[in-house]
Amino acid sequence: MKFIFDNDTWQEIFGSIKKSKLRTAITVIGVLWGIFLFITLLGAARGMENGFDKEFSNLATNSIFLWAQRTSMPNKGFQRGRQLRLKIQDVEAIRRQIPDIEFVVPRDVQGVFGGPPAQIKRKTNTKTYKLFGDYPTLDNVNKVKLLDGRFINSSDINNERKICIIGEKIVDELFEKDEKPVGDFLEINGSFFQIVGTYKDNGTSFEGDDSVYIPFTTYRKINNTGDNIGWMVIAANKEADILEVEKNVKTLLKRRHGAHQDDERAFGSFNFGEMFAKITGFVKGIKFLTWFVGISTLIAGVIAIGSILLITVKERTKEIGIRRALGATPRDVKGQIVLESVFLTIIAGILGIIFGGFVLMIINATLAGGDGFPFVNPTVNIPIAIGAVLALVTFGTLIGLIPAQRAVSIRPIEALREE
């Protein structure tokens, strides 16, 4: 061990490295490139994972959108092609009868699934926007990013209040810069609504930034929809099998609405949980690939160091022979070569980590500023970086042993033989 900290050992190593500067540099670049790729890829994958996490943090990811369609099979005396309607009572029934349900949020909209959008008037300006009738629980499945004021509350629902929350774009289009929308009034489909909040797009909802939210009960009343609801968002517990939940919900609804159990088209749905699982799987796949490619590149780099040292040993056969004639023990010779290998790998490794970190910083600065999907905070854990360096030391030692063994297997007399 003393040998590693001996100044003279390093003098010898620097001496032999200096002897072939260019080759050493190229070799070092090989390993540097390997660990650079490793760190950059790993950080990028991590950034992507963070990006997805952040992107979907607004969302109950284990959820389904569900709506009613026309039946495609005759049942109970009804002909096929009957238009089904989801009822407000279905919400309670689903919540009660299906296990693993976290929320069921009924929703209504004007101006998305056919039909004209709502007429919104302020002073002399009239424009058309999407109009949503919602419950406060919407916030639980798809977070509303409020800029000002508040969202719908249960009191609004109970009292069928004429209040609304409007998107950023509407504020821009109907208000002057110095006007404050909250507290002001808008005329929606002929009725006046007080604005209680403004929101901005959260990136994962189809409301965008040009919609108006009003309480579900108010919506029902002004549109005369009775017990009908547009569609619902069903969020299951995180651990629940979302496909199973979807099946159970549909079975229940078909029974309640007199549709045939085999009728696949009676209710339509979009299984967000399933999609999310695919995305998660994709990110996992990328991560695995990153590790695989990174480690392979690293090994390739270290092997390059080994082979370069092997060539160096061959070139230095005579020098090694001289050293041995002068009293270098096989251990001296071996130690020097192994240490040279380890030294080169560590230098390359550290430089690679620094460059990798630098590139990640650039990625972070250019792509991840603000809402920059898909890279958010691309980083590599310190333990992983340290682990990578330790792995390099190990590989460097192992690979260095090959040329070292070669060096001492040549007998000094053979090394010194006159050509």
Partner 1 sequence: MIEIKKLHKSYPMGKDSLHVLKGLDLEIKEGEFVSIMGASGSGKSTLLNILGLLDTHDEGEYFLNGQKIEKLNEKKAAVLRNKFLGFVFQSFNLITYKTALENVAMPLYYKGLGRKERQEVALDYLDKVGLKDWANHLPSELSGGQKQRVAIARALVTQPKVVLADEPTGALDSVTSGSVMELLTKINNEGMTILVITHEEEIAAMTKRIVRLRDGVITSDVKPKKLQKA
Site residues for partner 1 per CB under 8 A = 7-8, 11-12, 15-16, 18-19, 318-319, 321-332, 408, 411-413, 416, 418
Shortest Å, Cβ 18 to partner 1: 7
Alpha carbons 180 and 194: distance in angstroms, whole number: 12
Q: In terms of CB distance, is 255 or 417 closer to partner 1?
A: 417
Q: How many helices and strands (H and E) does the chain possess?
A: 13, 13
Shortest Å, Cβ 7 to partner 1: 7
Shortest Å, Cβ 392 to partner 1: 27
Shortest Å, Cβ 346 to partner 1: 23
- Cβ burial of 146 (10 Å; 0-12, 13-18, 19+) is middle
Residue 12 C-alpha from the chain's centroid = 49
Shortest Å, Cβ 43 to partner 1: 40
Q: In terms of CB distance, is 320 or 368 closer to partner 1?
A: 320
**Could you tell me which of 112, 114, 86, 385 has the C-alpha nearest to residue 234?**
86
**Could you tell me which of 73, 110, 105, 71 has the C-alpha nearest to residue 90?**
105
Q: In terms of CB distance, is 8 or 239 closer to partner 1?
A: 8
Q: In terms of CB distance, is 115 or 327 closer to partner 1?
A: 327
Q: What are phi and psi of 288, to 5 degrees?
A: -60, -45
Alpha carbons 401 and 330: distance in angstroms, whole number: 12
Q: In terms of CB distance, is 386 or 413 closer to partner 1?
A: 413
332: which 2 tokens?
């001296």
Provide the 3-class DSSP secondary structure of residue 75: strand
Q: In terms of CB distance, is 7 or 224 closer to partner 1?
A: 7
Shortest Å, Cβ 404 to partner 1: 13
CA atoms within 13 A of residue 223's CA, in its CB half-sphere = 25
Any alpha helices (H) in 316-372, and if so which ranges? 317-325, 330-367
